[in-house]
Structure 1
Amino acid sequence: MPNNRLDLLTPENWASYELIDTGGFEKLERFGLFILSRPEPQAIWPRSLSEEEWQRLPNAVFKRDKGSQEKGEWVLRPQMDEKWFIPFQQQGLNLTFKLSLSSFKHVGIFPEQAVNWPYIHQKVAGLPVSNPRVLNLFAYTGAASLAARQAGAEVTHVDAVRQVITWSRENMEASRLDNIRWVVEDALKFARREVRRGNTYHGLILDPPAYGRGPEGEKWLLEENLNDLLAVCSELLDKEHYFLIINLYSLGFSALILENLMRAHFGERPKAEFGELYLNDRFDKRLPLGVFYRFSSI
């Protein structure tokens, strides 16, 4: 039997974020001073707050375009800023994130990922090597990159969207960090080239989307490409001092599927953890927001 265990992980004690209510395929969240309402396909249960409160509380509401699951526009109330900053200060981390209202309902961070940032910071700090090398693939706006960099890692941050790299740089500067290596490229293509070059990393951070496009039109489909990515990453990870964390947000992937994939490519890891990430609202409803698998040599 494998030694790893199925966990449910959720962030705690983050004053700048709160999941207020969920239900009716929507979620009501507070990011710093502002409350946002946006779609959430997994919140299939009834809301706890009244319709009047759902109408009164938000500073901004995301309205999807007709026929689209993702794209739409924000309806803003007076005094709502189009961009603002929030801090994250936990377990030795002191980071600052810029938030902004995108046309794909995202705001610049995924709050459920906050459980991973102290883990990354702790593992980098604990590696018995000078200047540990960390590779963050599908790195988005870089919260994980910042956590690794603040612990002293040499970070390579890879994302296919140049505007997202610019956003990541703003987060780095707001967090008073520097010297992250930015790469605008298809993640799988970059990883394969690193293998050919003989490069390895002490830390790998993977957050692949369900689908996406590279800067030259490369097509990414999680179901088709994840096996190839993990095979390449098994060659990139240092054999002696290492950590790896992968997150998936796709309705077709359970924690057990991810566990099988990771065991196939990385073998049994006695310190491995896997399970679901979730957020708790004020009424103790738990909103599932993806699965994770992580392990380390320390």
Structure 2
Amino acid sequence: MNETILSLSPGDWEDYELIDTGGFEKLERFGEFILSRPEPQAIWDKSLEDSEWKNLAHAHFAKEKNNPEKGNWEQLKKMPHNWAISYKNEEGLSLKLNLAQTSFKHIGLFPEQAVNWDYIYQTLKRTPVKNPKVLNLFAYTGAASVAARAAGAEVTHLDSVKQVVTWSRHNMESSGLDNIRWIVDDAMKFIKREARRGNLYQGIILDPPAYGRGPDGEKWVLEEQINEMLKTCAEILDPKDRFLLLNMYSLSFSSMIAVNLIRSTFGEVPNPEHGELYLQDRFEKKLPLGVFFRFSSF
């Protein structure tokens, strides 16, 4: 099993482009609007001058001095607070995704995940199971959930933040779909209940944060809890017809960690793939954006 490095090819996504990276920042176009945001992985120099970034950007996220995870958007050109972009692939997946400027620098979308939306859609289109059940944990604003639903799956979407679940519903409706099951809960508590009930899923998607909180203040620390979570997922994943997709974004994590976790939990798995996700800017600098492991029996 060889390591794979995955990214959309430049130009594949009409509504998105990574323009430049460097100086711990990234300059991105979402539809017709360009944003500059912090990016801790971009430790090299920018290819464009700071003045060019400022001239291109509609908004810039400035971090708070005492809290690097929070800050404010500085509006450099007129643009709406909320807007939408589309994503389409050659296999027929069509998503409309709603974006907004948040106080945590996020805008409701992680573009590098588009290769995984393709994987989810293509995998579910191949399954012999009628109406396969898919569980999306730490599902955020739900692009992966909507991709699974577009492929005909019965989708359970779980996140601990009610506002992003509402955001996900908006993405589903904007994409012309319905009937996703919405859950606001702590991910670990939910899957342990599902295991006790004997419920099975044909697909599980996990994209856990490095740190997080459940709706009742439950603490999540990736390196402390991901092993236990995967063991519980093994109890609720169909032993025959199944796929699993694990994403992890942590500056200290190698894809070898994902390999060891999956092997120790599931043993040998069908059609395994693992490696890094990245996006490439106009100047061919590759920005690493997390590690993944995925496998499928379909």
Give yes or no for TM over 0.5: yes
Structure 2 residue identity aligned to 1:7? T
Instruction: Indicate the SS of the match to 1:79.
Output: coil
- Secondary structure (helix, strand or coil) at the match of 1:179 reads coil
Letter matched to residue 257 of structure 1: I
Is contact 1:138-1:158 (8 Å) kept?
yes
1:28 counterpart residue number:
27
Shift in Å at residue 123 of structure 1? Answer: 1.0
In the alignment of these two chains, the number of paired residues is 295
CA distance in 1, matches of 2:83, 2:189: 34
Q: Aligned letter for 2:70?
A: K
Tell me the distance in 2 between the aligned counterparts of 1:69 and 1:278.
23
Confirm whether residue 127 of structure 1 aligns to residue 124 of structure 2. no
Identity fraction in percent: 62
Cα RMSD over matched residues? 0.7
Aligned residue for 1:35, secondary structure, equals strand
Which residue of 1 is the match for residue 4 of structure 2? 7
> 1:270 offset after TM fit, Å?
4.2
2:63 is aligned with 1:64: yes
Q: Distance in 1 between matches of 2:267 and 2:277?
A: 23
Question: Is the 2:270–2:296 Cα contact (8 Å) retained in structure 1?
Answer: no
1:188-267 matched pairs, under 5 angstroms: 188-267=188-267
Counterpart Cα distance in 2 of 1:157 and 1:252: 28
Q: Secondary structure at 1:257's aligned position in 2?
A: helix
Amino acid at match of 2:285: K
Q: TM-score under structure 1 normalisation?
A: 0.98
Is the CA contact (8 Å cut-off) linking 1:5 and 1:272 kept in structure 2? no
Give 1:1-298 correspondences, 5 Å limit: 4-12=1-9, 13-90=12-89, 91-298=91-298
Gaps of 5+ in 2: none
Tell me the distance in 1 between the aligned counterparts of 2:103 and 2:50. Answer: 25
CA contact (8 A) 2:57 2:77 kept: no
AA aligned opposite 1:55: K
The alignment partner of 2:233 has SS state of helix
SS of the residue corresponding to residue 233 of structure 1 reads helix
- Give the aligned residue type for 2:172: M
User: Structure 1: 5+ residue runs without aligned partners?
Assistant: none
Alpha-carbon distance between aligned partners in 1 of 2:190 and 2:84, rounded to the nearest angstrom: 31
Render the CA deviation track for 1:215-273: whole Å, top value 9, x for unaligned.
Answer: 01100000111011000001111011111101000012110111111111011224100
Paired amino acid for 1:88: Y
Length-normalised TM-score, structure 2: 0.98
